[in-house]
Amino acid sequence: MLIQLSIKNYALIESLTVNFKDNLSIITGETGAGKSILLGALGLVLGKRADSSTLKNSDKKCIIEAEFSIQNYGLQFFFDENELDFENETIIRREILPSGKSRAFINDTPTTLSVLQNLSEQLIDVHSQHQTLQLSNTDFQFKIIDSLANTTAKIESYKRGLKLYTKLNKELNQLKLQQEKSKEQYEYNLHLYNELEDAKLKENEQEVIEKELDKLNNIEAIKLNLSEAQSIAFNEEVGLQSLLNSFSNNLNLIKSFSTEYSDLFERINSLKIEFEDIASEIENYNENVELDASEIEKLNDRLQLIYNLQKKHAASSVKELLEICNNLSEKVALVENSSEILKAKETELNNVAGKIDILAKTISDQRLKAIPKLVKKLEKLLAFVGMENTRFQFNLKHSSNYLSNGKDELELLISANKGANFGELKKIASGGELSRIMLAVKAILSEYLKLPTIIFDEIDSGVSGDVSQKMAEIMKQMSANMQVITITHLPQIASKGKQHYKVYKIDQKGDIITQLKELSSKERINEIAEMLGGKNITETALQHAKQLLN
């Protein structure tokens, strides 16, 4: 329930803090005193859009805080899911900066408007006058039925299944479209694929061929340099091998005189062994190097094939050609295996459809069972508020269409007078009747939906006298299960509240400011007397006010 609302620098409010209590609370005040401002501020803290035009002082930020007691409403999961700190006394804060930007916090943790709105839906229902139009909205009508039918969990399962069904159906349609296009290009794609497949490409072969051709095309220079290197190594008089032998012999003669000379001998001996190994390999390479014109031609042909394929497919490497080959393979396979692929996707789609069909039928059956119970409750409540002859028809038809909340189509018809024909709600009911119907609906919903708080903004519009008193009785009964806050102009309703608040304006040094205060017993008598007889309160009005309060 809403415990406290604090507003700073919003519209006509400079600074205001009001503490709310349980059961039925009444808010009254003259027209234009600022009741709509209170609701506007509450709307902002519940996640509505904001801009800098709402600031009283455009140089300062607006801060609105609402504190809720939420320990008994099973909201721990919501807080965990959105990585928020759960507190039994949860504070929602909204800040609107002079720039027009806004920030939202839940228990001092920054959050998004989307998360704030989702939480608000589970905390409070603000009913304004124009919301009576919801009665003609099919989604709202389903909400009423489903609250009694206890279908919430099944509808959530259905929605998850419908989401999967929609996804699979889209994939199936895309698959069919893709196959249509693929069939048109099948022969050409098959030719391209076979051409690449026959080439038997390997990822790094282009680089290998280019290096091998570079070697073969320079074979004469390689042969000449290998021969010269071999001559330098093996010349009997001045060859490197002969000179290294002499060098080694000299150190061998003195190695016994010192470890330094011995180390030098070992090092030159290692060098000599390594050189002999190199010289031997040069000799082998030189013997095996020969010009092979046929190999050059073969490699050139292979390289040219690769170049031609790269040009044809606008590719820069063999790796890209292999990727193109894989893509072509998939396109070809899609056509060749189209019937199997389509069949598998259709089977998957039909399996999901079967499951959500069963869910939709179960939901429909539960709704059909709940409708007579709902009609009975509605007609009983409306009879209590002076609509004794009102009758309802909820025509539920199970269709083949997948809708957002099942497969049912709904038509709500009403007869407001004895013997009158049934017709659409918006065409049959007057404004006052719509207000009473909506109150009856909300009263029924309050029995089934675990909602902490409901606020009625002049739901008594268009009614008066005995009817308004009975509407107040309904609100009072509702307040036994939840917190009810009612904004009203009717003294009959105002007298039924457990606590009474008044919205009023004051002139503070030429600045008009809206204030809100909880009335004492005496102030409450005067307020209701004023609502009964006007500004000039008479003794008769005071006595009538006391009588209403008692």
Question: What is the per-residue pLDDT across 302-348, written as a single tens digit (0 to 9) for each?
Answer: 888 888 888 888 888 888 898 989 988 888 887 777 777 888 899 99
Q: Tell me: do 113 and 190 sit in the same domain.
A: no
User: What confidence score (pLDDT) does residue 69 get?
Assistant: 92
User: Is residue 41 assigned to a domain?
Assistant: yes
Strands (E), 136-190: none
Upper half-sphere CA count for residue 518 (Cβ side, 13 Å): 11
Residue 56 corresponds to which tokens in the numbers above?
């009283």
Q: Which of 413, 417, 433 is nearest to 425 (CA)?
A: 413
Q: Tell me: do 302 and 211 sit in the same domain.
A: yes
444 CB burial (10 A radius; 0-12, 13-18, 19+): buried
Q: Is the Cβ–Cβ distance between 242 and 256 less than 8 Å? A: no
Q: What is the dihedral of CA 438, 444, 445, 448, to 10 degrees?
A: 180
Dihedral angle sign, alpha carbons of residues 323, 326, 330, 332: positive
Distance CA 423, CA 319 (A): 72
User: Is residue 484 assigned to a domain?
Assistant: yes
10-residue averages of pLDDT along the chain (550 residues): 93 91 92 85 89 84 93 88 92 92 93 92 82 79 92 94 95 84 75 88 85 80 82 76 84 87 89 87 79 79 87 88 88 75 89 96 96 94 90 93 94 86 83 86 85 88 84 91 91 93 88 91 93 87 90
Q: Is the Cβ–Cβ distance between 146 and 367 less than 8 Å? A: yes
Residue 483: beta bridge partners? 453
User: What confidence score (pLDDT) does residue 111 get?
Assistant: 93
Task: Pick the last residue of a domain from 336, 358, 390.
Answer: 336
Q: Tell me: do 227 and 326 sit in the same domain.
A: yes
Q: Tell me: do 93 and 229 sit in the same domain.
A: no
**What are the phi and psi torsion angles at 307 (to 5°)?**
-60, -40
User: Is residue 469 assigned to a domain?
Assistant: yes
User: Is residue 539 assigned to a domain?
Assistant: no
Residues contacting residue 467 through CB under 8 Å, at least 6 positions apart? 385, 386, 432, 436
User: Is residue 422 assigned to a domain?
Assistant: no
User: What confidence score (pLDDT) does residue 382 get?
Assistant: 92
Does pTM top 0.85 for this prediction?
no
According to DSSP, the β-strands at 423-424 and 2-10 are unpaired
User: What confidence score (pLDDT) does residue 305 get?
Assistant: 87
Residues contacting residue 104 through CB under 8 Å, at least 6 positions apart? 47, 92, 93, 94, 95, 110, 111, 112, 113, 116
User: Is residue 179 assigned to a domain?
Assistant: no
Task: Pick the last residue of a domain from 284, 314, 336.
Answer: 336
Task: Pick the last residue of a domain from 296, 318, 336.
Answer: 336
Q: Is the Cβ–Cβ distance between 425 and 414 less than 8 Å? A: yes
Overall number of domains in the chain: 2
* CB count in 10 Å sphere of residue 482: 19
User: What confidence score (pLDDT) does residue 129 get?
Assistant: 65
**What are the phi and psi torsion angles at 531 (to 5°)?**
-65, -30
Radius of gyration of the chain measured on its C-alpha atoms:
44
Residue 104 corresponds to which tokens in the numbers above?
């939202």
User: What confidence score (pLDDT) does residue 404 get?
Assistant: 92
Domain range enclosing 63? 1-123+451-519
User: Is residue 446 assigned to a domain?
Assistant: no
CATH of the domain at 118: 3.40.50.300
CA 15 centroid distance within chain? 36
User: Is residue 370 assigned to a domain?
Assistant: no
Distance CA 416, CA 428 (A): 7
Dihedral angle sign, alpha carbons of residues 297, 299, 303, 309: positive
Q: Tell me: do 111 and 193 sit in the same domain.
A: no
Q: Tell me: do 111 and 208 sit in the same domain.
A: no
Q: Which long-range contacts (CB under 8 A, 24 or more apart) does 51-59 make?
A: 51/96, 51/100, 52/96, 52/97, 52/98, 52/99, 52/100, 54/10, 54/11, 54/96, 55/9, 55/10, 55/96, 55/98, 56/9, 56/10, 56/11, 56/12, 56/13, 56/14, 57/9, 58/98, 59/98
Residue 248 corresponds to which tokens in the numbers above?
């080694």
Distance CA 176, CA 338 (A): 9
Residues contacting residue 109 through CB under 8 Å, at least 6 positions apart? 83, 84, 85
Dihedral angle sign, alpha carbons of residues 493, 496, 497, 503: positive
Q: Tell me: do 228 and 115 sit in the same domain.
A: no
